[in-house]
């Protein structure tokens, strides 16, 4: 037997929407579990909430007025008090009861929707990422139709209410089975759930409200940006269907490899090769940096693997102040091919420094290997 939903709220069939809202608000205040802890009040509140949800839904109320019960089967299960919008009442119902909210059906979907974001890659040289630059990029995105300005209609025409769903955006069907009544709801196939149709679409965008267009956009690259970082250009993405707000455009930075320098965050690195004589005697080199020539002082006795630091010659910090450093890694090379005269000079140098180059064994105590042996023997 169908539930008397009007009677649950103390009303007569045919009561107005205002009477239904007023009756529900009064009963919900008294029976809500947060106000009335009685177990019986909890069950009554569920019944009242379900009755209100049924009578404020036009399709469900139509079924009730025809003598049916929209909660028999289908939506929310067979007689389930915890169906869609039942139980303790949907959030819209509770807000309606205590604050006078709207509540009711979902309504049609808007034709206007937000556009998608777009992503484009830009390749930059090291000096452009370190010091910043302004570059132009070409993007192919959806833009607002300049004929209908997003409305999707031909000039002088307007959308009309969908005759299939009468503007609700969805169509419902009620079927009887051995389980009872089954209510099915689906988006309207005629208007795509918008509740409106466009009988005379715009000739340029065919009713979409947007068209594809290629445009050139200047992009400011901040100093210190790193490889893989993305720059967000708000509102430069795809315009949404129906002329909806555009998404964002993300520009992803890709840094080209440099012939001399490598980068590690804010610091730059490079390698300088020194001949053995320059490392031993010391010298001054002219180093070509991203900002021009810098004099690099090599102290006498410099060893391979030493690192010289040129402070504040790296990339600017994106967050904060100051710059990173330029780190110069020194590689000392040993000559591999010597003529007789060069070999003779090196031997003389070794003799002057007291460096015996012979391996020496037995009584020879001046050789390098003999000195190592003597160290182990405690001599």
Q: Which residues are annotated as a binding site?
A: 145, 148, 162, 165, 188, 191, 202, 205
Cβ partners under 8 Å of residue 248, min gap 6: 117, 118, 232, 233, 234, 235, 236, 237
Specify whether the CB–CB gap between 204 and 148 falls below 8 A. Answer: yes
> DSSP string covering 134-183, please?
EEEEEEEEEEE-TTTTTS-BPTT---EE-TTTTTSSEEEEEEEETTEEEE
Helices 91-99 and 17-31, axial angle in degrees (round to 10): 90
Please give the C-alpha separations between residue 292 and each of 159, 248, 314, 323, in angstroms, as whole numbers. 65, 38, 13, 17
Nearest to 166 by CA among 199, 196, 200, 207: 196
Annotated binding-site residue numbers for Zn(2+): 145, 148, 162, 165, 188, 191, 202, 205
Specify whether the CB–CB gap between 288 and 310 falls below 8 A. Answer: no
**Judging by DSSP bridges, how do beta strands 249-255 and 118-124 pair with one another?**
parallel
Tally of CA atoms within 13 A in the half-sphere of 72 that contains its CB: 22
Specify whether the CB–CB gap between 303 and 332 falls below 8 A. Answer: yes
Other beta carbons less than 10 A from residue 232's beta carbon: 11
């Amino acid at each position: 037997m169908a539930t008397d939903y009007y009677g649950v709220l103390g009303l007569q069939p045919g009561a107005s929407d205002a009477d239904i809202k007023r009756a529900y608000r009064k009963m919900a205040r008294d029976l809500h579990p947060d106000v009335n802890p009685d177990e019986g009040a909890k069950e009554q509140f569920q019944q009242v909430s379900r009755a209100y949800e049924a009578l404020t839904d036009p399709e469900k109320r139509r079924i009730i007025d025809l003598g049916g019960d929209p909660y028999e089967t289908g939506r929310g299960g067979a007689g389930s008090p915890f169906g869609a919008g039942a139980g303790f009442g949907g959030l819209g119902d509770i807000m309606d009861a205590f604050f006078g909210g709207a509540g009711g059906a979902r309504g049609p979907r808007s034709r206007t929707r937000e556009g998608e974001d777009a992503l484009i890659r830009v390749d930059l040289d090291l000096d452009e990422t370190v010091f910043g630059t302004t570059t132009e990029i070409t993007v192919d995105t959806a833009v607002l139709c300049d004929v209908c300005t997003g409305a999707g209609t031909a000039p002088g025409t307007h959308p009309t209410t969908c005759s299939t769903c009468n503007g609700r955006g969805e169509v419902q069907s009620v079927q009887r089975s051995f389980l009872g009544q089954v209510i099915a709801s689906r988006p309207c196939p005629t208007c795509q759930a918008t509740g409106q149709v466009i009988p005379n679409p715009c000739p340029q965008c065919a009713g979409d409200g947007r068209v594809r267009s290629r445009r050139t956009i200047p992009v400011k690259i901040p100093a210190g940006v790193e490889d893989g970082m993305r720059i967000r250009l708000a509102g430069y993405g795809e315009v949404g269907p129906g002329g909806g707000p555009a998404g964002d455009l993300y520009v992803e930075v890709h840094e080209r490899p440099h012939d001399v320098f490598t980068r590690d965050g804010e610091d730059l690195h490079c390698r300088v090769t020194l001949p053995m004589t320059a490392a031993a005697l010391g010298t001054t080199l002219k180093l070509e940096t991203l900002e021009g020539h810098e004099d690099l002082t090599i102290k006498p006795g410099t060893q391979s693997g030493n690192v010289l630091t040129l402070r504040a010659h790296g990339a600017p910090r994106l967050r904060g102040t100051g710059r990173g450093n330029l780190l110069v890694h020194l590689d000392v090379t040993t000559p591999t091919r010597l003529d007789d005269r060069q070999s003779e000079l090196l031997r003389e140098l070794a003799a002057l420094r007291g460096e015996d180059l012979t391996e020496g064994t037995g009584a020879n105590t001046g050789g390098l290997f003999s000195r190592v042996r003597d160290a182990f023997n405690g001599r």
